[in-house]
């Protein structure tokens, strides 16, 4: 497989054509917008849960095959995980994509072809940045240019940042 | 289109291969393929004479300009001021001291916004732009609006990518204090009717700033014939260095403007009771300027002026026609910007493949295009798009390269469909 085929693996193309959980979640879901500065693409990622565990995740928006596939894979990967666990997975993914950690990512390993395309790494991390923001109750859209958040608490409360429709 | 690609090819007298040989950066492999550089609207490549002029300047002639009595300072000053004269000739300015050095088009527009416009406007006043402006010709005006309470108004663009001139005319009025418009659209390629825009704006006593960043490499710019009041362009899009650009302004307007940046060079006399300003153009050139940039830009303009510019224009028109024809054959591809009067820029989208995926696959084949919003987010939003793929052609591109672009696109489609 050449570099390009590594990037656009069948599983990536399949998720980009038929993204999973491509829908809006309504309140009291936690949502955050992620903006890819490279292209202006914008995703909204939402999670439902009890504050400690994610029951379901979904997303909306437009983007390239990599960002859509990554968001789609995310929604499957984090459902049922605790918030801590989901955030740790986001960390591991970002580390794997930047080549600073071994791959141990299950289905998410399909995203690792992006490592050979440094300009496209932020496409793969866009949804994960939004996930972090949603779990931390960030109200500003997160950009792929900013360093990932490293807050001291890894739970969210239902009182902050409810979904605002059509924001 | 007024002529078929075949007709253009028949009339072309340009030796493109000889011209390409002058551009060192074009002769390399990218990802195992010969580079096909189709991103000149973002930044052109430089001929060797420009690179050599910069190197020679630093090797032999560098010193700080003005006020030096030693030989090198004199040489540097002469080269720097000769470059200004070269620019004045290139755009047919009435006087050399109407040419102000800036870092680029963006800084030139900011200079006009802050120095010319800001002191003159307030609530109730309007600045008129169009939907197809680059962010550089939007945001500086927004800053002035925030500072003064004036309002930014934008004239709409038609589906084909032309300024809706009827709407533009309706938006003009006594409240319009400045019109700022691009000469050639970077995202669409449209060549705008600047002379007509100037005529309409002047009927309302509104001065006109023209963003000429995309026009300078393609058109023969004559600021006096256009009738505009300010004209801005960048060195790096016209085969010169980055970090150097030009603001041309009418002397009467420039004279009435206060300095923008304070520092050395821009003063006549300084005391703690106050300072007096230097004359044009130095009033707007605080600090040690980008001397090598000016020298390099002059070399680029000299190079361009020594070409048969009619043949260059015919060649670019042929490339545009060939690319438009070739890309139109692709199923699901839409060209964004189909004005009859265009520079050699083709923006396009596929209905099912994102521009960035196209860009990555093309790069893998050695083909460099630009993908994204091209710093024209309001325009793309109008077309319901977040990003397009843009192939932009310069004098050193060839029909064969456009065919390679098409082959690379076909490969992308195979992968995705």
pLDDT per position as a tens digit, A16-45: 999 999 999 987 889 999 988 777 778 999
Which residue in B397, B390, B377, B408 sits closest to B337, CA to CA?
Answer: B390
- CA-nearest of A30, A120, A24 to A70 is A120
Domain membership of residue B107 (yes or no) is: yes
Q: What is the mean pLDDT of chain A?
A: 84
Burial class (CB in 10 A: 0-12, 13-18, 19+), B279: exposed
Considering the domain architecture, whether residues B295 and B316 belong to the same structural domain is answered as no
Residues B123 and B225 in one domain: yes
| Burial class for B233, CB neighbours closer than 10 Å (0-12, 13-18, 19+) | buried
A71: which chain B residues are within 8 Å (Cβ-Cβ)? none
A151 in a structural domain: no
Enter the DSSP assignment of B401: H
Q: Is B379 exposed, middle or buried (0-12, 13-18, 19+ CB in 10 A)?
A: buried
pLDDT tens per residue, range B98-120: 999 999 999 999 999 999 999 99
CA atoms within 13 A on the CB side of B195: 6
The minimum CA-CA distance between A136 and chain B, rounded to whole Å, is 27
Report how far residue B315's alpha carbon sits from residue B11's, in angstroms, rounded to the nearest whole number.
9
Supply the pLDDT for residue B149.
98
* Domain count for chain B: 2
Show which of B305, B336, B351 is a domain's final residue: B305
Q: How many residues are there in chain B?
A: 417
Residue B235 domain boundaries: 51-305
DSSP state of B136: G
Backbone φ, ψ for residue A166 (5° rounding): 55, 35
Does B201 share its domain with B238? Answer: yes
* Domain co-membership, B341 together with B378: yes
The ipTM of this complex is 0.83
- Within 8 A of A39 by CB-CB distance, chain B residues are 355-356, 371-373, 386-387
Whether residues B264 and B389 share a domain: the answer is no
CA-based nearest distance B110→chain A, Å: 23
What pLDDT score does A1 carry? Answer: 62
B103 in the Ramachandran plot: left (φ > 0), alpha (ψ -120 to 50) or beta? alpha
Residue A27: the pLDDT is: 79
Q: Which of residues A56 and A40 earns the better pLDDT score? A: A56
Nearest to A123 among B356, B361, B416 (CB): B356
The pLDDT tens digits for A86-121 are 999 999 999 999 888 777 889 999 999 999 999 899
Q: Are residues B266 and B403 in the same domain?
A: no
The answer to whether the Cα torsion of B67, B72, B78, B82 is positive or negative is: negative
Closest residue in B to A12 (Cα) is: B416
- CATH code of the domain in which B231 resides: 3.40.640.10
The reply to whether B57 falls in a domain is yes
Residue written as token pair 């509104």: B206
One domain, residues B318 and B256: no
* Nearest to B417, CA basis, from B358, B353, B361, B334: B353
Q: Specify whether B285 is located in the same domain as B339.
A: no
Strands laid side by side in the B345-350 sheet: B333-336, B345-350, B388-392, B370-372
* Whether B299 and B319 share a structural domain: no
Tokens read off for B342? 């265009």
- List the CATH number of the domain containing A82: 3.90.1010.10
The reply to whether B283 falls in a domain is yes
Structurally, chain A folds into a number of domains equal to: 1
Give the C-alpha separation, B266 to B261, whole Å.
Answer: 8
Quick one: tokens of B149? Answer: 């309470």
Q: Are strands B33-34 and A54-62 parallel, antiparallel or unpaired?
A: unpaired
Task: Give a yes or no: residue B342 inside a domain.
Answer: yes
Residue of B nearest to A61 (CA): B386
Low-confidence ranges of chain B (pLDDT < 70): 1-12
Secondary element (H or E) of residue B223: helix B223-226
Of A161, A155, A154, A159, nearest in space to A137 by CA: A161
Q: Measured between beta carbons, which residues in chain B are less than 8 angstroms from residue A119? A: 360
Provide the terminal-to-terminal Cα distance of chain B, rounded to the nearest Å. Answer: 32
Judgement on whether residues B165 and B249 belong to the same structural domain of the protein: yes
The verdict on residue B382 lying in a domain is yes
Q: Which of B369, B379, B372, B383 is nearest to B327 (CA)?
A: B369
Nearest to B43 by CA among B368, B366, B346: B368
What pLDDT was estimated at residue A98?
Answer: 87
Residue B130, domain member (yes or no): yes
Is residue B101 in a domain?
yes
Q: How far apart are the first and last CA of chain A?
A: 43
What's the confidence (pLDDT) of residue A103? 73
For residue A158, is pLDDT > 50?
no
The answer to whether the beta carbons of residues B35 and B369 sit under 8 Å apart is: no
Domain boundary among B305, B335, B366: B305
**Whether pLDDT at A152 is above 50:** no
Distance (Å) from the alpha carbon of A111 to chain B's nearest alpha carbon: 14
Q: What is the CATH number of the domain that holds B330?
A: 3.90.1150.10
Residue B216 in domain: yes
Looking at residue B330, the DSSP 8-state letter turns out to be: S
The reply to whether B364 and B246 lie within a common domain is no
Same domain flag for B208 and B320: no
Higher-scoring residue by pLDDT: B253, A2? B253
Please state, in angstroms and rounded to a whole number, the distance separating the CA atoms of residues B44 and B324: 21
Predicted local distance difference test score (pLDDT) of residue A166? 34
| Pairing of β B36-37 and β B367-368 | parallel
Task: Answer with the one of B268, B286, B305 that is the final residue of a domain.
Answer: B305
Using pLDDT thresholds of 50, 70 and 90, give the confidence band for residue A14. very high
Catalytic pick among B50, B298, B375, B408: B375
- Predicted pLDDT of residue A144: 67
Q: Is B375 a catalytic residue?
A: yes
DSSP bridge partners of B347: B336, B390
Residue A80 lies in a domain: yes
pLDDT of residue A51: 85
Which residue segment(s) compose the domain that A50 sits in? 3-135
């Amino acid at each position: 497989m050449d570099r390009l085929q590594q990037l656009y693996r069948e599983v990536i193309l399949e998720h980009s054509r038929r993204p999973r959980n491509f829908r809006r979640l309504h309140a009291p879901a936690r949502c955050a917008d992620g903006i890819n500065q490279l292209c202006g693409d914008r995703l909204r990622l939402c999670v439902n849960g009890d504050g400690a565990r994610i029951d379901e995740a979904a997303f909306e928006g437009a983007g390239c095959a990599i960002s859509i596939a990554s968001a789609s894979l995310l929604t499957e990967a984090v459902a049922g995980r605790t918030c801590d666990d989901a955030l740790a997975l986001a960390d591991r993914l970002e580390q794997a994509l930047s080549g600073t950690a071994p791959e141990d990512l299950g289905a998410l390993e399909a995203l690792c072809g992006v490592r050979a395309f440094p300009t496209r790494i932020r496409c793969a991390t866009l949804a994960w940045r939004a996930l972090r923001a949603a779990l931390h109750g960030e109200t500003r859209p997160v950009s792929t240019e900013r360093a990932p958040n490293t807050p001291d608490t890894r739970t969210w409360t239902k009182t902050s940042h409810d979904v605002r429709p059509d924001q | 289109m007024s002529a078929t690609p075949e007709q253009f090819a028949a009339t072309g007298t340009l030796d493109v291969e000889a011209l390409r040989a002058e551009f060192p950066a074009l002769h390399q492999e990218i990802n195992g393929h010969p580079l096909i550089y189709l991103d000149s609207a973002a930044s052109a490549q430089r001929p060797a004479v420009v690179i050599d002029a910069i190197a020679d300047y630093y090797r032999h002639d560098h010193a700080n300009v003005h006020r030096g009595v030693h030989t090198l300072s004199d040489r540097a000053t002469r080269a720097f001021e000769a470059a200004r004269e070269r620019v004045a000739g290139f755009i047919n300015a009435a006087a050399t001291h109407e040419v102000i050095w800036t870092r680029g088009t963006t800084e030139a527009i900011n200079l006009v916004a802050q120095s010319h416009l800001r002191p003159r406007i307030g609530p109730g006043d309007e600045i008129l732009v169009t939907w197809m402006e680059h962010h550089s010709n939007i945001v500086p005006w927004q800053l002035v609006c925030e500072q003064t309470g004036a309002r930014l108004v934008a004239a709409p663009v038609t589906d084909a990518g032309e300024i809706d001139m009827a709407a533009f005319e309706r938006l003009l009025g006594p409240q319009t204090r400045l019109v700022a418009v691009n000469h050639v659209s970077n995202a669409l390629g449209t060549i705008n009717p600047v002379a007509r825009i100037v005529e309409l704006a002047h009927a309302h006593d509104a001065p006109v700033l023209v963003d000429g960043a995309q026009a300078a490499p393609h058109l023969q710019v004559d600021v006096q014939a256009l009738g505009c009041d300010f004209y801005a362009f960048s060195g790096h899009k016209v085969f010169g260095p980055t970090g150097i650009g030009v603001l041309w302004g009418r002397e009467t307007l420039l004279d009435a403007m206060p300095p923008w940046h304070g520092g050395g060079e821009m003063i006549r006399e300084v005391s703690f009771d106050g300072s007096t300003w230097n004359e044009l153009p130095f009033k707007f050139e605080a600090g040690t300027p980008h001397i090598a940039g000016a020298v390099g830009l002059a070399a680029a303009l000299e190079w361009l002026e020594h070409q048969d510019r009619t043949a260059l224009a015919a060649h670019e028109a042929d490339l545009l026609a060939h690319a438009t024809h070739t890309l139109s054959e692709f199923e699901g591809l839409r060209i964004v910007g189909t004005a009859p009067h265009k520079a050699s820029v083709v923006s396009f989208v596929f209905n099912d493949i994102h521009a960035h995926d196209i860009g990555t696959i093309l790069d893998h084949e050695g083909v460099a295009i630009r993908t994204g919003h091209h710093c024209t987010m309001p325009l793309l939003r109008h077309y319901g798009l977040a990003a397009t793929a843009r192939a932009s052609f310069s004098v050193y591109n060839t029909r064969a390269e456009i065919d390679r672009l098409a082959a690379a696109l076909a490969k992308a489609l195979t992968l995705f469909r």
